[in-house]
Amino acid sequence: MKVSIPMLRLISALLLVLLLGAYAAATTTQPRTVTLPIDTVDTAIMESFPIQLQVRFAGILPDGCTSMGEITSERDNAARTITITALGNHSGAEACTMIAQMFEETIIFQGPFEPGEWTIMVNNVETTVTL
């Protein structure tokens, strides 16, 4: 069977359209939640009664498609730990501006606190403070 050049071009064009459609379907993403990168974690003990502990943390929103999301905290008095989770919301877009935006948040925890060394974990950054 002999295939003409115009027929080969038509078959090639159809295959290209099918492949591009499959690629577009495979790369479509949904909005998602991401863990934000944290650069610094600082603490301050407020002069009050009961004691108040201020935790300030800063990081970067990695691109123009990511915005601040939910910030949650959990305090375990028995283990003397405070765990803070800072999340971001990514739009799901494939193409994002590569402009990083800095953010800074402060959370104040009210006493009472067990005296001693406390571990504060913000995402993957850990610090300690003695109360």
Residue 7 lies in a domain: no
Q: Is pLDDT of 17 > 70?
A: no
Residue at 116 is within a domain: yes
In the chain, how many domains are there? 1
Inside any domain, residue 3:
no
Residue 24 falls within a domain, yes or no?
no
Asked whether residue 94 is assigned to any structural domain, the reply reads yes
Examine residue 110 and state whether it is found in any structural domain, yes or no: yes
Q: What is the mean pLDDT of residues 12-27?
A: 49
Is residue 12 classed as helix, strand or coil in its secondary structure? helix
- Burial class from Cβ neighbours inside 10 Å (0-12, 13-18, 19+) for residue 88 reads buried
E-strand ranges in 1-131 read 32-35, 38-46, 52-61, 66-76, 81-90, 101-110, 117-122, 125-130
Classify residue 115 by its DSSP letter: S
66-118 pLDDT, tens digit per residue, is 999 999 999 999 999 999 999 999 999 988 898 889 999 999 999 888 889 99
Domain membership of residue 77 (yes or no) is yes
What pLDDT, on the 0 to 100 scale, is given for residue 26?
43
Determine, yes or no, domain membership for 17: no
Domain that holds residue 117: 32-130
Q: Is the pLDDT of residue 13 over 70?
A: no
What mean pLDDT value characterizes the chain? 85
Confidence of residue 19 (pLDDT cuts 50, 70, 90): very low
Cα–Cα distance, 64 to 75 (Å, whole number): 32
